[in-house]
Amino acid sequence: MPKKNRSLFGIVILAFILIVQPAVAQEKPIQLALFAPLQLVRDDNAVSGIRLSLLYGKNTSVTGLDWGLVCHSTWGKSAGMQIGLVGLVESDFAGWQSTAVNITKRNFEGFQCGFVNYAGHASGLQLGVVNYARSMKGLQIGLVNIIKQGGQFPVFPIVNWSF
């Protein structure tokens, strides 16, 4: 990457961090994790800004960019974009979840894209090989699509929906 582009990229990242101010005193603007608990911010704090998880990052919630191998949020609402290998949200998530395995145990609102997508209740689009929602308002596109309650079909290949 040319020096000018690297500088611009750095400025954009720094501006993003400074603009996204923590809403609560417990929220931190940046997290860097090798694996929990070997991370900058303790796992009982929220992150509002950027979390980079080299192997495994764990916090209560993340608002902003959540990028890493395994991204784990334990409670509270996470929002923004999650990118990596495994995205595990034990509570609610709103935004774009794009990991190989996406798991949101409670309410998901937005777009899930991965090999396996799971949501307690989904509002939006699930795009993957296997899509599962206990209930849903939206569309599933994939090889196996399961909407446990209220779907057009309980299990259906290629596409399934509930509105």
The reported pLDDT for the residue numbered 123 is 98
Question: Where are the strands (E) in the chain, listed by range?
Answer: 28-35, 38-39, 47-59, 62-73, 77-89, 92-149, 155-162
Six token digits for residue 74: 């334990």
d(CA 95, CA 79): 6
Q: Which residues pair with 32 in a beta bridge?
A: 52
Instruction: Please report the DSSP string for 58-92 in residue order.
Output: EES-EEEEEEEEEEEE-SSEEEEEEEEEEEEESSE
The reported pLDDT for the residue numbered 92 is 98
The reported pLDDT for the residue numbered 9 is 67
The reported pLDDT for the residue numbered 27 is 82
The reported pLDDT for the residue numbered 83 is 98
The reported pLDDT for the residue numbered 64 is 97
Burial class of residue 125 (count of CB atoms within 10 Å of its CB; 0-12, 13-18, 19+): middle
pTM equals 0.83
Residue among 23, 127, 32 nearest 77 (CA): 23
pLDDT digit string (tens) for the chain, length 163 residues: 566 666 666 665 555 555 544 444 468 999 999 999 999 999 999 999 999 999 999 999 999 999 999 999 999 999 999 999 999 999 999 999 999 999 999 999 999 999 999 999 999 999 999 999 999 999 999 999 999 999 999 999 999 999 9
d(CA 33, CA 53): 5
The reported pLDDT for the residue numbered 21 is 45
Neighbours of 154 (CB within 10 A): 12
